């Protein structure tokens, strides 16, 4: 595994591994653990419900330790933050790498049609489909997100889940994002 220039590596007594200080996770990690976190974050993405899923996916140092191609873009502030794009709350955990636990619970209540007490939900809005016109890694495509409540949520989710540079395109009719049932 490759080592990065400017990073101080050290060996701990009794262990046959190189360790370094990971500023992102605020922890001392072995090179092997860093590489494993990066590989898992890239492979599992949203399925891995961890802070590492967001932080390690676009880490240049993790890519170097994993002998992987580094992320070529400048990470958006949305990628490393745990701010919910639906309600704006800060949390430590995001469901589907997108929304906070509270918004997920309200979404679930809206889909089921009742809350925990058996009443019809008052504040919960049923999510709808959002289509984004995206230019990613040089190719244009349409991305459909079925569980988004707004265009902002869909765009932030796309930024968080992409490993490449992302731009949002316009349709020939002039609209950049279409809302509707998918």
Kindly report, residue by residue over 90-103, the tens digit of the pLDDT: 877 888 878 888 88
Does the pLDDT value for residue 174 go beyond 60?
Answer: no
Report if residue 137 sits inside a domain.
no
Mean pLDDT of 117-131: 81
| Total structural domains within the chain | 1
Residues of the domain holding 2:
1-71
Give domain status of residue 95, yes or no: no
What is the average pLDDT across 130-149? 82
Residue-by-residue DSSP string for 136-158: ETTEEEEEEEEEESSHHHHHHHH
Give the Cα separation of 65 and 109 in Å (integer).
43
Q: Tens digit of pLDDT for each residue in 6-48?
A: 889 999 888 889 999 988 788 899 999 999 988 888 776 555 5
Q: Is residue 179 part of a domain?
A: no
22 found inside a domain: yes
- Inside any domain, residue 59: yes
119 assigned to some structural domain = no
Which tokens is 31 given? 């090179």
Give the best-scoring range by mean pLDDT among 2-6, 8-12, 75-79: 8-12
**Domain presence at residue 99:** no
SS3 state at 53:
helix
Residue 73 has pLDDT above 60, yes or no: no
- 44-65 residue pLDDT tens: 655 555 666 667 877 888 888 8
* pLDDT, averaged across the chain: 78
- Let me know if residue 7 belongs to a domain: yes
């Amino acid at each position: 595994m490759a080592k990065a220039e400017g990073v101080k590596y050290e060996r701990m007594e009794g262990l046959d591994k190189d360790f370094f200080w990971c500023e992102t996770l605020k922890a001392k990690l072995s090179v092997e653990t860093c590489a494993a976190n990066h590989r898992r974050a890239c492979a599992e993405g949203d399925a891995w419900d961890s802070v590492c899923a967001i932080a390690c996916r676009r880490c240049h140092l993790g890519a170097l330790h994993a002998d992987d191609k580094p992320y070529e873009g400048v990470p958006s502030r949305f990628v490393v933050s745990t701010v919910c794009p639906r309600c704006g709350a800060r949390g430590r955990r995001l469901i589907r790498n997108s929304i906070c636990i509270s918004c997920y619970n309200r979404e679930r209540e809206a889909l089921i049609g009742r809350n925990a007490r058996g009443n019809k939900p008052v504040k919960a809005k049923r999510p709808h489909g959002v289509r984004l016109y995206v230019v990613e890694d040089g190719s244009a495509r349409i991305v459909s997100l079925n569980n988004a409540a707004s265009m902002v949520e869909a765009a932030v989710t796309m930024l968080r889940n992409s490993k490449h540079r992302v731009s949002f395109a316009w349709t020939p009719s002039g609209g950049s994002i279409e809302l509707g049932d998918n």
